[in-house]
Amino acid sequence: MPRLQPAPGFITAKEAALMLNGSEAMLSRYVKEGKLKRYGPSERKYKFYKISEIEAVIAARNVFETTYTEGQWKENPSSIFKQAREEDLETIARISMAVFQDERNPTYNPTPIKTRLAWMRKNKDIYHGLYTQDGNLVGYICLLPLSKETIDLFITDKIKTTDITENEIEPFKPNHPIHLYIMAMCIDPIYPTRQKHEYGARLISGLFALLLDFATHNIKIETISARSYKPDGIRLLRKIGIPQLHSPIPNKNLFSVTVKESGIPILEKYNELLNSKEDNKN
């Protein structure tokens, strides 16, 4: 039986290893750890890798320093990044409480599950979680596609999280420009530092892969914004490269980028993919 050739957007294991400056054994390791997926018919020995997922791993690797110790990779946790489920919302609320309620914010109340559920039912891609191989949720990302006007009201504290109803949530659909607000990027603080660091890198890699997947589906993100007062959150947004702007609210650090004008490597790749979709359409 002749060997299948990869479809557009996919590459062979040899090509993937070259992109990652590694070996095919390293690819197998990444698959076992949940960093990459293999694609292809189950009956076929040779599988393919998604270029956007390889690029997301590279981009995340550039944000986070390598945490692996040679010869000890089996000690690194395996995880899976995927859409969160409705039944995960209670755990998401618990993680949110554990992360954000502290001495600077002692009265913090997590977004009600009722509000989160309404958002999720309006747009299933809002919540993505990071799961262990046995299905435990260890972290999540909340991405709200909103109008620019709604984001401006939110970052000036003229509206609260609970004022953002499902009616304000925009769809992720082709040729529908959106403004993306990163509401949260959280890892459960119950884990030791090294494990949290590794899970954080996986979460960012998953986010990057998701953004590139949006580009392949011609989903046009005009701006990305976020706020944080947590030192870890501020460091992470700076590492990603999102510019910090003057915040109209003290102690709530504001970050925002216009995607089309960005020089951030992962957003440059997003723009390339989006432009190639436009060129193919023309």
DSSP 120: H
Question: Is 77-281 assigned to CATH 3.40.640.10?
Answer: no
Which residue is associated with the tokens 């998401």? Answer: 92
Write out pLDDT tens, residues 6-20: 788 888 889 999 988
Write out pLDDT tens, residues 211-261: 999 999 999 999 999 999 988 889 889 888 899 999 999 989 999 999 999
Q: Taking residues 106-133, report their average pLDDT.
A: 92
pLDDT given at position 277: 65
All residues at 6 or more sequence positions from 208 whose CB lies less than 8 Å from its CB, including other chains: 55, 56, 59, 60, 266
Lowest mean pLDDT, pick from 23-27, 60-64, 114-118 = 60-64
pTM of the model as a whole: 0.84
CA distance linking residue 241 with residue 256, whole number of Å: 10
Amino acid in position 88: D
Q: Calculate helix-pair angle for 231-240, 193-216, nearest 10 degrees.
A: 40
pLDDT given at position 140: 97
More confident call, 127 vs 134: 127
DSSP of 53-118: HHHHHHHHHHHS-----TT-GGGSPP-EEEE--GGGHHHHHHHHHHHH-STTSTT--PPPHHHHHH
